[in-house]
Amino acid sequence: MSGLNPIDVAVGRLLLAALAFSPFLIKSSIKKADISRAMVLGAIQFGLMYWLYIASYQYLPAWMVALFTVFTPLYVVLISDLLDRRLRWRNLGASLIAVIGALVVVAKGLPEGATWRGVLLLQGANFCFALGQVHYPRQKKSMAATDTVMVGWMYWGAFLVTGLIVLVSGGFNYEPWSGPSIISLLYLGLVPSALGFYLWNRGAARVSAGWLAVANNIKIPLAVLVSWLIFGETTEYWRALAGLFLILGSVFFSENRLSKGDS
């Protein structure tokens, strides 16, 4: 996919995701107002998130992007508590432990060439994704819609907002695309985007805010393990294992007794 405009890749992925879920929308009977609400939510959680996330790569190396996603669980907890009009110290404590654990894994400091502009863009992406995760179960309950229908309309909303960004930035560039890049796009659109986001939001509607917050950071130690086992990279193993211990510990800390009031 190198040499391709990242926002073109994003809009292609979201279009494929929207098309994949369109069959579930044909026989759905939800109100037009609810469709609009779902599309707005998708435009924020998937569309704006993708745009800001991709833009951050212009100012940060990949490992820094992974590093600064550790603040997503804090946003999840704070948004959830704000909507519920109460502060749950257990959730906040669990998310802080998860953040510390993720920082232990990857924190190296700003490398040469990285700027805080990238950090701010990424925090915007993190906030959009957190906002969508928190709102999804609440909005789904009020709509009485299935996950497939809800997410399907969200994908169309995400595609429309990223498509608008592509048009404003000069239109889709077809020239660099080749057979292998199209095959890669099909995979990215149908598996990580369509299936991945669907499963994530479906899970978000079935767990507590504490679980949802810390689960956002489990991907960081997993990425470290992949780099060791598949790509043969090396790192400070004690740091990665210590961070993994903290993150997994925060999961159990968060879930303990949450089922008895989520407090």
For 54, 135, 167, the CA distances from 162, given in Å and listed in that order, are 12, 20, 9
How far, in Å, are 30, 70, 71, 78 from residue 75 at the CA level?
A: 30, 10, 7, 5
Band of residue 24 on the pLDDT scale cut at 50, 70, 90: very high
Place of tokens 């990949």: 62
Q: How far apart are CA 145 and CA 177, in angstroms?
A: 37
Q: Who has greater pLDDT, 255 or 14?
A: 14
Per-residue model confidence (pLDDT) at position 201: 93
Q: Is the pLDDT of residue 261 over 60?
A: no
Instruction: Give residues with Cβ within 8 angstroms of 89, minimum separation 6.
Output: none
The residue with greater pLDDT, 113 or 181, is: 181
Q: pLDDT for 194-242, tens place per residue?
A: 999 999 999 988 888 778 877 887 777 776 677 677 767 665 667 667 7
The Cβ of residue 256 has, within 10 Å, a number of other Cβ atoms equal to: 12
Category of 85 on φ-ψ map: left (φ > 0), alpha (ψ -120 to 50) or beta: left
Domain ranges of the chain: 6-256
What are the angstrom distances between the C-alpha of 72 and each of 21, 63, 66, 132, 219?
Answer: 27, 16, 11, 11, 12
Give the model's confidence band at 49: pLDDT under 50 very low, under 70 low, under 90 confident, else very high. very high
The mean pLDDT of 139-154, rounded to a whole number, is 90
Give yes or no for residue 176 having a pLDDT over 60: yes
Q: What is the structure's pLDDT at 170?
A: 84
pLDDT tens per residue across span 239-255: 667 776 777 677 666 65
Tokens linked to 195: 């299936």
5's torsion region: left (phi>0), alpha (psi -120 to 50) or beta?
beta
Band (pLDDT 50/70/90 cuts) for residue 18 is: very high
Residue 164 has pLDDT above 90, yes or no: yes
pLDDT band at 55 (very low <50, low <70, confident <90, very high): confident
pLDDT given at position 14:
96
Contacts of 83 (CB under 8 A, 6+ apart): 134, 138
Tell whether the model's pLDDT for residue 159 goes beyond 50. Answer: yes
pLDDT in tens, 75-121: 888 888 888 888 777 777 877 887 887 777 666 666 566 778 888 89
Q: Tell me the mean pLDDT in the region 55-72.
A: 79
For residue 148, give the amino acid letter. Answer: T
Average pLDDT over residues 3-17: 89
pTM of the model: 0.82
Q: Mean of the per-residue pLDDT values for the chain?
A: 83
